[in-house]
Structures are given as structure tokens and as C-alpha cells.
């Protein structure tokens, strides 16, 4: 699973500009970076790689934490997106 996500970063390493070692990133970190800094195609690539259900589960894990690094508008949009399509 993580290997497929690494493919997204190989195309666009600037999505996680604040990390030196991209190999150490978790799936949650990758998804968070795509949601914050990526475009729609990047999200579709992640969704295609992981599947809708797994992408939604990772999103739920991210938003369930004490500290959330997603912007309120992004959080709201993907809440609505996953409620409708997942």
C-alpha cells in the first residue's frame, strides 16, 4: 500500500516539502500532504492506489487525532465527499 503512495511522491516530491526522508513517511502523512498541498488528480491517484474505503479510513484516522493538520475547509470538503461516496 505505501509503495503505491510513494509513486505519487516520486512524481511530485514537493507535496511533502518539509520532510527530508520521504521513505519514513506513514500512509497518513502521505494522505495528509496530498489533501493539503496536492491537486484533485493527486487525490484521485491516491484513491485509485488505496481504494475508496482505505482512503476514507485513513482520513478518519487523521481527523480523529488531537492535532489535525488539515485546514478547516479541506476537512469539511472531504467529510462531505466521503459521506456521499463511501
Q: Are 45 and 8 in contact (CB under 8 A)?
A: yes
The grid coordinates listed for 86 are: 463511501
Task: Identify which has the larger pLDDT, 48 or 27.
Answer: 48
Mean pLDDT, range 51-78, rounded to an integer: 93
| pLDDT for residue 19 is more than 80 | no
Whole-prediction pTM: 0.83
Range of the domain at 79: 2-85
| pLDDT for residue 1 is more than 90 | no
Mean pLDDT of the chain: 84
Task: Identify which has the larger pLDDT, 16 or 85.
Answer: 85
Which of 72, 43, 38 is closest to 58 using CA atoms? 43
- Counted domains in the chain: 1
Which of 8, 3, 7 is closest to 43 using CA atoms? 8
Q: Residue 27 — pLDDT band, cuts 50, 70, 90?
A: confident
Q: Which residues of 3-23 are buried (b: 16+ CB within 10 A; e: fewer)?
A: eebeebbeebeebbeeeeeee
Amino acid at each position: 500500500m505505501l509503495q503505491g503512495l510513494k509513486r505519487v511522491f516520486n512524481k511530485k516530491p514537493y507535496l511533502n516539502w518539509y520532510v527530508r526522508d520521504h521513505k519514513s513517511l506513514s500512509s497518513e502523512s502521505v494522505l495528509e500532504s496530498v489533501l493539503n498541498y496536492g491537486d484533485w488528480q493527486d487525490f484521485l491517484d491516491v484513491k485509485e492506489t488505496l481504494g475508496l474505503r482505505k482512503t476514507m479510513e485513513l482520513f478518519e484516522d487523521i481527523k480523529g487525532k488531537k492535532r489535525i493538520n488539515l485546514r478547516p475547509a479541506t476537512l469539511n470538503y472531504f467529510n462531505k465527499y466521503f459521506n456521499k461516496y463511501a
